[in-house]
Structures are given as C-alpha cells and as structure tokens.
C-alpha cells in the first residue's frame, strides 16, 4: 500500500519473464547456444532465415518447457501451436519471431511466495510458452551503422506470464527470486540475469483498495531484481501522482532508465506494432504424449517448497533457516550432504554462518567452495567426538578454506588436538591459580565474575587445546577447595 | 551432328539406352547443353550450367561403365530456379535475390544428384512462383515453344513453372523440377503439352525450396511421359527430418504401378467443375477423357465437391497471407539486393520496392491486409475454415471413387499480353488446380488433345493422399488413349 496525498493506493503488478532455456542447441536449429562466443559464429542458415530454410522443433527444449510447467504446478497442454509474430528489425532475420500465441504449451499454474513476515502468498501463472530469441543489434561499433550479431537469434526462451496478483515492488522481487530458484532447481534456466538469461517485463497499475484494476503501463526488458523493484516503485508513484493531480493513465510501453531510476515512454500508440500473428505453416501443431509428460512429472527433482518443508520436518530446522538453505539448489544439496548422519542444526549453523561468510568474502558460489561438504562434515564429527573444541574448529575451518586441506590433516599438522589428559590440565590449572593468587583471593571473596578470566588463562596456557569441560570441572574444584 | 535423336528420347528410353551403353551420358549431356543454347530465344533458362552437366555426366559414365548405375544416372534435368542449388545462382526470378548463391542444396535436387541425374541449369519462373503465365519474372517472360498455327504471336507457357515446362516441351531437358502452389506444375504442363505431377503434400521435402506459400507449395516432376514422372517421383520423394511437414510414409515403386489396368476403378466427375463460361472444347475433351477411361474398364461416376466455388477465393487469401510472411526476410540486410537509404525504414522501403515486382508486391499487400488486426477473423481464419471443408469434400468423394477426372485449365495457352485486363482474369486460370493444393491431394496433368487453334490441352487426375500410384496409373491410361503425338513448333534438334 502506498500512501498518497489523498489516501492509500494499491499497486498491481503482473510480470512477463523471459527465461532462456538451458539447451546446447537452438529452438529450431542445431546451432550452438554458448554465451560469449565471437559474433555470428553460432548461426545456421535457418537462424539467419536464408531462403528455403525450415525450422524443426528441438525436442529437448520442449522437454525443458514441460518440466518448467510441471514445476510451476501448471496445466500441460497436450496440443499447442507455434505462431509467427511479425515485425521488421535487422536482428530478426525472418521478419517474424516463432512464438506461441493463442495455444501455449503450458497453461495455468502457481508459485507460492514466502513473505518476510512469515506469511505465504500464492501468485497465479497465466501461461508459459516457447519462443525464439532475436539477435543483438550493436549500435556502438560504428558511428553511422548498426552491426548485427545473430548468435542469440533462435535461442529458445520460455515466456512465463503471471497473473496481476503481485501487490508491491517487494512482492515482485520475492516472486522473481522464487521463480529463478524453481527454474534453477529444474535445470531449465540458469537464471543468470547479467548474461540476459532471465529478463523481465512488468505490467504496473495502481488503484484504490477494493476498486477495479487501473490502466496499466508495461515496463520492458529489466535485467535485475533490483531494477524490477525500483522500476515498479517509481512507476506506481508516477501513476499515483498523475491520478491525484486529476489526470488519467495512458496505456503505454515504457523503459526503465537505471541511471536515473525512472521510467520513460518507449513508443507511442501510432508506432504500435500489428504483429499479424498466424500459425506457422512450416511447423505442425506440437502434440505431446501424455505418458511422456507423466514420466517427466515422475522424474521432477524436489523443488524448494518441498525441500523446505522436509528440512523443517526431518531436520528440525526453523522455517527461516530452511528458507535460507533451500534458496539455491546447490546450497541445499551441499547442506544435505553435510547434515547426512549428523546434528542437522550444527550443520545448518556451519553452512549458513561460517561457510556462507567465507564464500561471500571470496566472492564465489557454493559450487566453487574450497571446502567440500564431506570436509565440513568431518570437521563437525571432530567437534562431536571431542577431538577439537568448537573454538579451535573455527581456526581449522579457516585453514580448510585457505588450503582446501582435510580438517584431520590440519589438526595433525598444527597440533590442535584437544587435551583431555586430566593430569596435564590439572597442572595447568594449578599453575594459573598459583600465578594469580591475588585474583583467587578476590574470587573467593565473592568476585565470581573472575571465573571467566581463569578459564581464559587456562586455555591460553594450553594453547586453547584443553577440553573445556575438563577445564571447568577442575577449575571449579580447585577454586572452591 | 546435332544429335536430335538423343533429344527425342523419353527419360525412360534414355535411361535404358545409357545402361545398354548405346550412347554415353557425356553425349547425352552435350546434346542437351546444345539444346539449352538452341532454345535461348524461349528464355526458359535463367542460368544454364553446361560445365556442371558435363562433369556430372562424366561421373555417371564411370558408374555406368562399372555397372553401378544409379536410378537416374546420366539423365539431364532442369531445375526450377526456386530450388536452392549449392554454389549456383538462385534467383526465384526476383531482383531481390541478386547475386544469391546458397551454401546448401535443396533436398529434392540433392536426391536427384545422388541418383546420378545431371544438372542442365536453372529455369525461369514467375517471380517467387507467383503467377500463371511466367510473365512476372524479373528475367523476362518465357515463351511457349508452341504457337497457334498461322499466328506468330508468342504464347505464354503457363506458370509459375513456365521455364521448366518450356524446356521439357522443347526437348532441352528430359525432365524438370517444378513447384505447384496453385497449379504451377499442372497448368504449364497443360499449356506446353507435357506431363506435370503435383504429389501429395508432404511427399517431397520442401527443404531448400524457396517458400511462396508454405502450406500449399508442392515440389514435383515435369516430364514428357507419365512413366518418366513416376521414375523421377520415386527418386525425389521421401521423408525428410529437416522439413517438419514432410510425411513419414514409405515410397513405393511408382513405375511398377503403371500396369495400365484400371478395370473396376471408379472415376469421379465433379459436377461443380462445369464452370460458367468454360469453352466447349474443354468440356468436350473432359467427356472424351471419361469415355477413354470407361473404355479401359473404369467406371465414371458423377460426384459433388460442393465447396469448389470457394476454392479460388480461399486460395487467394491463404497463399498471399503466407507469402507476405515468407517474404518478410527479404529486407536487404543479409543477402541479395540492398538499396541504401537514410534510415533503416528507408532502406527497407527502397530495397523491397526495387526488389519485388508488381505481382509480388500485390500479394504481399493482400497478405498483410488479411492478417491485420481486425481483418484476421473475417479473412484468414474464415479461409482456413473453408479450406478444412474443401479437404472434407475430397475425403467424402474418395469414399465413393478412387480418383477424380477434371480439366487442368479452363483454356489453352494464351498470348503474352492477353489476359491483362486484371489480376482476377489471370487468377481464374487456377480454378481447376487450386482445390488439390488446398486439400494436399496428388494430381497429374496429362496432355490429352489439341484446342481448336492447335494448342495442347491437359486433363487432370486427382487422387487420395499418398496414392500417387493410382493417379499415375490412370494418368498412364489417359496418355495411351489420347495418343498425343503432337509436337511444338520450336523444338531443339528439329523435328525428326
């Protein structure tokens, strides 16, 4: 809810997400899809729309779209149709994009959002369809000419359209992160927004609570969650200001200027395209075998919601911790390997605390973690069996991150094994109490806060290796004696 | 000597002669290269490829000498310049593809060359296959090798495969590839006195054939005999994974279907094909054809194809709609003609205005219109529904009959310059051929007689989908009965 001059306004947002399908080949040709290749090196005559060339659907891309639909709890359409969407632009070689207009491969579905306040929100998915990406126009290579790179032309995209169910920029951000997480779990889109694998158009309108939808504006081609949120926020406030000043909202397409954090009109109505959609006569309707769809359904990996529920139920984690751990599939799998057969809460604390902290400092993802899940698990085991104290374990972990070595080897090399020899610890305690005779007197006179000081001195004398429980036991005995 | 005797052979005769080593593939190719030169006044070829013909013929001779003959080894064939041929200029008879030499070979021509056929060159056509008279070519009109006796006015060869038809009729190719979108194989075959076969949609791959209207384009053979059409079809047919609309059905030995035995076959005579203003001689030939088939033991049956009258308007919505989309790629950016402008839009406008001829522009405009918001339902969608009904008409008819007999075209060839009163008069030429394109069923045109002014007229046999065997068999019986021995005035190698 946004408070305007004249009262409260509700923001209404629907998102159209363009997610690049993970596939080695393009949607209708065998050309490669690697990111960052030299311009025009991944282009077949089909992608370049040479005369007489014909598209043939890539079965794997269809499989990816169907898996995504299943992951969004959506209806899979056993018959769908590819249409041609026409407009002239140099990076659209055929003069049309092959897309799905009236009969998409995936129908209604839903995404459940976990809001920061602990509530959940269900967001409707209107549809998901397959389409080709266009190429790239490079306007900055030559003073008067535009260069065209067709490497991306024909790459498979899934357009995932949400219902106008989102009510704030924040919700849109949560939705986008959740969708990205689901896609990555499914392995159908890498979600890499910097490389353009995930792009987003936002439909934004505002209304008084309880009133019908207002006129919407579409903000095109946003490539980060932050920009999506900024653009929605700006756009909602812009519309509120117009309405509060007695104006009306023009339905239009706008672009987000990330340098200034504002949106501006992209094209007027006169320039609006008539896309002249019609079914592509080069392609037969896409007909799916229900058994094949059922098999894909059965083979679907565990998705974040289910994993989170399981982490809470089976591992006794708090919903907040579980949420953090399942956000990235690799992190969740890493955690599960660490937690396997161990104290899950300890595993969660190590993964979310020390490990995530270290990865952050290194600026790498969990897949590049210098310490493996098995090594972290071994460290936890060494704490549990008393080989090292929790305090020393932090030191061992730092070394694991620095060198990638096994914790046992580090403990051995550095001589960090915990001292559990009662005689040795008693000697250290005696030595400390003798050296600090004055403080012992003060303690016995009632300054009990000095107890921690004695513990510290004993640990220092044993280079931190003394078993803390034994230290406590002996210290208390000797101080009271 | 100018070896006219080699030119007079049918494809089947030439094949057998080559295998008997009565003459070499090189001799046959040389004779045909000369023939191609000789018929230059007809403007049937845009790009002759005589050197390639000789190379291919020599390779064929080596296989023939080793006794390893391929099905079409050494057979000189012309290729409609709508088929992409690797490294050979491919124009579609349009200015817009100036200098375009594709880096790939069409599936149909690839199959021809892999079967040992020899490429004579690329033949002229209506620009982008849009036309029924071959007068819309950027490379100039093709002349029909036939003329009306006592009348020196040049005649059109029909279209759009006019160059292929003229080349085969004038003996400057043993066979040619054509494409048939609304009659573009059968109508020129009828006008030039040869055989033209439009196979079932999906029978021959469209890979590498420049698209006019994708759902209506049918590659197929043009030959001088029905047997030759059967031989070529067997080679060029077959499922192709690169064309999603290509059909995964087996390819039978079509030549073996030419048994001549049509006893007991029921032949449909569609009453709706008796259109207003049809010349009496066409009607008479049609009846003659029915009598020939009856005499051979078949049973002509009157049938009804009630949606026939809607076929032409339906075609002239769907074909331009698809064409307007298919031709969007000719934008001056990647290949062919580019006319520079001061802005991107200006470059597009200048390039397409200069590159496309009047008829192509007309169809692109019609197609753009019928697909536009607000008109789509009334035109394109309705046309698609009518198309479904037309297809159903054929399916219903084929429950009662085994094939359908009809005239190929409502007239004989006309003079270049006649029928220019408007595009509609020209479009009417397709009235008998268009329904088979909309339904996707196979159809053959066989020369059956001469018009009153001495020009060839064809009769058409349409059949069930993928039943080219019956179409060829009945066509063969018509051919035998008609005994069409007439020759055009312009004949490479002269009359023998």
Model confidence over B249-294: pLDDT tens digits?
999 999 999 999 999 999 999 999 998 888 899 999 999 999 999 9
Average pLDDT over residues B224-238: 98
> Which chain B residues are closer than 8 Å to A44 by Cβ?
none
> Which chain B residues are closer than 8 Å to A132 by Cβ?
none
Integer CA distances (angstroms), B17 to A406, B30, B67, B72, B73, in order: 83, 16, 13, 12, 11
Average pLDDT over residues B434-445: 98
Element (H, E) at A96: strand A96-99
Model confidence over B77-120: pLDDT tens digits?
999 999 999 999 999 999 999 999 999 999 999 999 999 999 99
B322 touches chain A (CB under 8 A): yes
Query: In the prediction, which pLDDT does B63 show?
Result: 97
Model confidence over B320-346: pLDDT tens digits?
999 999 999 999 999 999 999 999 999
Query: In the prediction, which pLDDT does A245 show?
Result: 95
Q: What confidence category does residue B1 fall into, taking pLDDT thresholds of 50, 70 and 90? A: very low
The reported pTM is 0.91
A278 touches chain B (CB under 8 A): yes
Nearest CA to CA, how far is A340 from chain B (Å)? Answer: 49
Residue of B nearest to A94 (CA): B329
- For chain A, where do the domains classified as CATH 1.10.10.410 start and end? 422-480
A55 touches chain B (CB under 8 A): yes
> Which chain A residues are closer than 8 Å to B340 by Cβ?
none
> Which chain A residues are closer than 8 Å to B211 by Cβ?
51-52, 282
Model confidence over B179-230: pLDDT tens digits?
999 999 999 999 999 999 999 999 999 999 999 999 999 999 999 999 999 9
Report the percentage of chain B scoring pLDDT > 90. 94
Query: In the prediction, which pLDDT does B408 show?
Result: 98
Q: Which CATH architecture has domain A422-480?
A: Orthogonal Bundle (1.10)
A30 touches chain B (CB under 8 A): no
Contact A52 B100 (CB under 8 A): no
Enumerate residue ranges in chain A where pLDDT < 50.
none
Query: In the prediction, which pLDDT does A1 show?
Result: 85
Nearest CA to CA, how far is A296 from chain B (Å)? Answer: 24
Which of A51, A81, A91 should be substituted to probe chain B, the one whose Cβ sees the most B Cβ atoms within 10 Å?
Answer: A51
Residue B3 has pLDDT above 60, yes or no: no
Among partner residues A84, A96, A282, which is closest to B245 by beta-carbon distance? Answer: A282
B42 touches chain A (CB under 8 A): no
Model confidence over B351-389: pLDDT tens digits?
999 999 999 999 999 999 999 999 999 999 999 999 999
Q: What confidence category does residue B496 fall into, taking pLDDT thresholds of 50, 70 and 90? A: low
Residue of A nearest to B103 (CA): A45
Nearest CA to CA, how far is B57 from chain A (Å)? Answer: 27
Which of A47, A281, A284 should be substituted to probe chain B, the one whose Cβ sees the most B Cβ atoms within 10 Å?
Answer: A281
Among partner residues B321, B333, B335, which is closest to A90 by beta-carbon distance? Answer: B333
Residue of A nearest to B372 (CA): A276
> Which chain B residues are closer than 8 Å to A51 by Cβ?
84, 90, 92, 97, 100, 102, 210-211, 329, 335
Residue of A nearest to B326 (CA): A94
Contact A48 B334 (CB under 8 A): yes
Nearest CA to CA, how far is A137 from chain B (Å)? Answer: 12
Total Cβ atoms within 10 A of residue B239: 14
Residues of B forming the active site = 80, 160, 184
> Which chain B residues are closer than 8 Å to A28 by Cβ?
none
Contact B331 A86 (CB under 8 A): no
Which of A25, A44, A54 should be substituted to probe chain B, the one whose Cβ sees the most B Cβ atoms within 10 Å?
Answer: A54
Model confidence over B283-302: pLDDT tens digits?
999 999 999 999 999 999 99
> Which chain B residues are closer than 8 Å to A274 by Cβ?
372-373
Domains of chain B: 1-496 (3.90.1300.10)
Q: What confidence category does residue B420 fall into, taking pLDDT thresholds of 50, 70 and 90? A: low
Query: In the prediction, which pLDDT does B424 show?
Result: 73
Mean pLDDT of chain A: 93
Query: In the prediction, which pLDDT does B2 show?
Result: 47
Among partner residues B215, B321, B329, which is closest to A95 by beta-carbon distance? Answer: B329
- Counted across chains A and B, CB pairs separated by less than 8 A come out at 98
Query: In the prediction, which pLDDT does A118 show?
Result: 85
């Amino acid at each position: 809810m946004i408070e305007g001059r004249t009262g409260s306004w509700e923001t209404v947002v629907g998102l159209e997400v363009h997610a690049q399908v993970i596939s080695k080949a393009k949607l209708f040709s065998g050309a490669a899809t690697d990111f960052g290749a030299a311009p025009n090196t991944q282009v077949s005559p089909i992608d370049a729309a040479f005369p007489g060339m014909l598209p043939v659907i890539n079965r794997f891309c269809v499989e990816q779209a169907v898996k995504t639909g299943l992951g969004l709890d959506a209806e899979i359409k056993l018959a769908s149709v590819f249409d041609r969407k026409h407009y002239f632009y140099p990076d659209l070689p055929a003069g049309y994009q092959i897309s799905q207009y009236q009969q998409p491969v995936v129908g209604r579905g839903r995404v459940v959002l976990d809001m920061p306040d602990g509530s959940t929100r269900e967001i409707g998915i209107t549809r998901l369809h397959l389409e080709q990406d266009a190429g790239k126009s490079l306007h900055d290579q030559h003073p008067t000419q535009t260069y065209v790179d067709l490497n991306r032309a024909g790459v498979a995209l899934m357009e995932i359209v949400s219902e106008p169910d989102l009510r704030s920029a924040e919700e849109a951000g949560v939705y986008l992160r959740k969708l990205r997480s689901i896609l990555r779990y499914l392995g159908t889109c890498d979600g890499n927004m910097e490389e353009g694998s995930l792009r987003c158009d936002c439909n934004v309108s505002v209304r008084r609570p309880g009133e019908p939808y207002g006129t919407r504006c579409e903000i095109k081609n946003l490539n980060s969650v932050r920009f999506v949120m900024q653009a929605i926020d700006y756009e909602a406030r812009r519309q509120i200001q117009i309405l509060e000043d007695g104006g009306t909202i023009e339905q239009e397409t706008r672009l987000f200027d990330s340098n200034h954090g504002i949106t501006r009109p992209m094209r007027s109505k006169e320039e609006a395209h008539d896309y002249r959609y019609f079914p592509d006569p080069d392609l037969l309707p896409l007909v799916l075998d229900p058994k094949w769809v059922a098999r894909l359904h059965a083979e679907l990996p565990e998705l974040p919601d289910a994993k989170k529920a399981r982490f809470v139920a089976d591992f006794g984690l708090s919903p907040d911790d579980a949420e953090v751990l399942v956000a990235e599939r690799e992190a969740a799998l890493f955690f599960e390997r660490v937690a396997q057969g161990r104290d899950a809460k300890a595993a969660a604390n190590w993964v979310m605390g020390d490990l995530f902290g270290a990865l952050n400092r290194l600026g790498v993802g969990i897949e590049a973690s210098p310490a493996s899940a098995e090594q972290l698990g071994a460290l936890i085991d060494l704490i549990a069996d008393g080989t090292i104290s929790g305090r020393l374990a932090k030191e061992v972990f730092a070394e694991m991150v620095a060198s990638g070595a096994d914790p046992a080897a580090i403990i051995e090399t550095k001589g960090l094994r915990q001292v559990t020899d009662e005689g040795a610890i008693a000697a250290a305690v005696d030595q400390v109490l003798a050296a600090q005779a004055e403080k012992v007197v003060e303690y016995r006179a009632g300054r009990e806060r000095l107890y921690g000081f004695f513990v510290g001195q004993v640990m220092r004398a044993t280079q931190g290796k003394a078993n803390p429980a034994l230290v406590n036991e002996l210290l208390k005995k000797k101080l009271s004696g | 000597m100018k070896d006219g005797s080699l030119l007079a052979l049918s494809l089947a005769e030439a094949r057998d002669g080559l295998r008997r080593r009565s003459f070499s593939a090189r001799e046959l190719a040389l004779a045909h290269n000369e023939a191609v030169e000789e018929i230059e006044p007809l403007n049937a070829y845009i790009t002759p490829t005589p050197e390639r013909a000789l190379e291919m013929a020599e390779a064929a001779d080596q296989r023939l000498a080793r006794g390893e003959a391929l099905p079409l080894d050494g057979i000189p064939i012309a290729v409609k310049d709508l088929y992409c041929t690797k490294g050979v200029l491919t124009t579609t008879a349009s200015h817009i593809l100036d200098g375009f030499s594709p880096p790939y070979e069409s599936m149909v021509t690839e199959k021809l060359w892999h079967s040992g056929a020899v490429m004579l060159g690329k033949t002229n056509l209506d620009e982008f296959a849009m036309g029924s008279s071959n007068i819309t070519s950027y490379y100039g009109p093709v002349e029909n090798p036939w003329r009306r006796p006592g009348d020196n006015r040049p005649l059109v060869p029909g279209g759009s495969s006019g160059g292929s038809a003229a080349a085969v009729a004038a003996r400057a190719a043993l066979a040619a590839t054509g494409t048939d979108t609304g009659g573009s194989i059968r109508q020129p075959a009828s006008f030039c006195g040869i055989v033209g076969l439009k196979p079932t949609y999906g029978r021959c791959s469209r890979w590498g054939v420049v698209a006019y209207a994708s759902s209506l384009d049918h590659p197929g053979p043009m030959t001088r005999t029905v047997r030759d059409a059967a031989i070529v079809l067997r080679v060029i047919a077959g499922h192709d994974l690169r064309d999603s609309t290509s059909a995964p059905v087996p390819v039978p030995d079509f030549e073996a279907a030419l048994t001549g035995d049509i006893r007991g076959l029921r032949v449909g005579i569609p009453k709706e094909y008796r259109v207003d203003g049809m010349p009496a001689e066409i009607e008479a030939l049609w009846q003659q054809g029915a009598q020939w088939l009856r005499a051979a033991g078949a049973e002509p049956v009157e049938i009804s194809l009630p949606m026939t009258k809607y076929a032409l308007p339906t075609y002239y919505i769907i074909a331009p709609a698809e064409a307007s989309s298919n031709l969007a790629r000719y934008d001056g950016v990647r290949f062919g003609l580019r006319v520079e402008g001061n802005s991107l839009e200006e470059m597009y406008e200048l390039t397409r205005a200069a590159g496309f001829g009047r008829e192509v522009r007309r169809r692109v405009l019609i197609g753009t219109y019928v697909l536009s918001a607000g008109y789509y339902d009334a035109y394109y969608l309705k046309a698609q529904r009518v198309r479904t009904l037309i297809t159903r008409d054929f399916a219903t008819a084929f429950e009662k009959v085994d094939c359908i007999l009809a005239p190929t075209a409502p007239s004989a060839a006309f003079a270049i310059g006649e029928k220019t009163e408007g595009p509609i008069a020209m479009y009417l030429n397709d009235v008998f051929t268009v329904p088979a394109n909309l339904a996707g069923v196979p159809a053959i045109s066989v020369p059956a007689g001469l018009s009153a002014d001495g020009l060839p007229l064809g009769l058409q046999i349409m059949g069930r989908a993928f039943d080219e065997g019956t179409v060829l068999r009945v066509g063969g019986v018509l051919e035998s009965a008609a005994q069409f021995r007439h020759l055009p005035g312009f004949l490479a190698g002269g009359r023998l």
